[in-house]
Amino acid sequence: MDSERSAQQLRLIDETVEIAKALGVEVWLRGGWAMDFFIGEVTRDHEDIDWFTWAENASALADGLVRAGYELLPGPPPDQQLDFSKQGLESSFALLDKDQFGRVVVAGGPWAGEMWPEGMLDAPVGRIGALRCPIIGPCAQIEIKQMMPVWVPGRPRRRKDAEDIARLEAALGQQGTRPA
């Protein structure tokens, strides 16, 4: 495992949480880092840092990140996701909205209005050591990792996703909780 890269990503996670807090913007880790913060330790190398945030706060968050030295990258439709780079590491913010019934949905792009898993944002704060960070719920993380190849045709099932699902299910089992 690349411990220097992980340490650098953990510093960026901490910095992002502090920036968001100062701006009054909610953020949640998703993907592999959400899993690690749920489990409480770094389990593998991570290519990037994946987040969720509300679309209505995306502009303020983007301004705050750019002021802190992040570079906005071209990528998916900007009403769907914003991608940034700092110190050669990428952070991606998938944007959330709520539908007319108050359910969390994809904010923009080709999947605008599609629902995310119920209860996704209700997880307790995760942590690794002294570093604390909001995360999406582990059951939602499992559902997203299981469904992504279905939701995005042509995206293959990845070995790391199967391994992450197994880690999350084991951690949930140890806590006496079963995934939905």
Domain coordinates in residue numbering, the chain: 3-137
Task: Indicate the pLDDT class of residue 180, thresholds 50, 70 and 90.
Answer: very low
- Angle at which helix 159-174 crosses helix 31-39, to 10 degrees, equals 30
Name the pTM for this structure.
0.91
Provide the mean pLDDT of the chain. Answer: 92
Q: How far apart are CA 159 and CA 136, in angstroms?
A: 21
Count helices and strands (H / E) in the chain: 5, 8
Domain boundaries 3-137, CATH class: alpha beta
Say if residue 142's pLDDT is above 70. Answer: yes
Provide the pLDDT for residue 156. 79
Tell how strand 49-54 and strand 89-98 pair up. Answer: parallel
Provide the pLDDT for residue 176. 58
Provide the pLDDT for residue 175. 67
Say if residue 51's pLDDT is above 50. Answer: yes
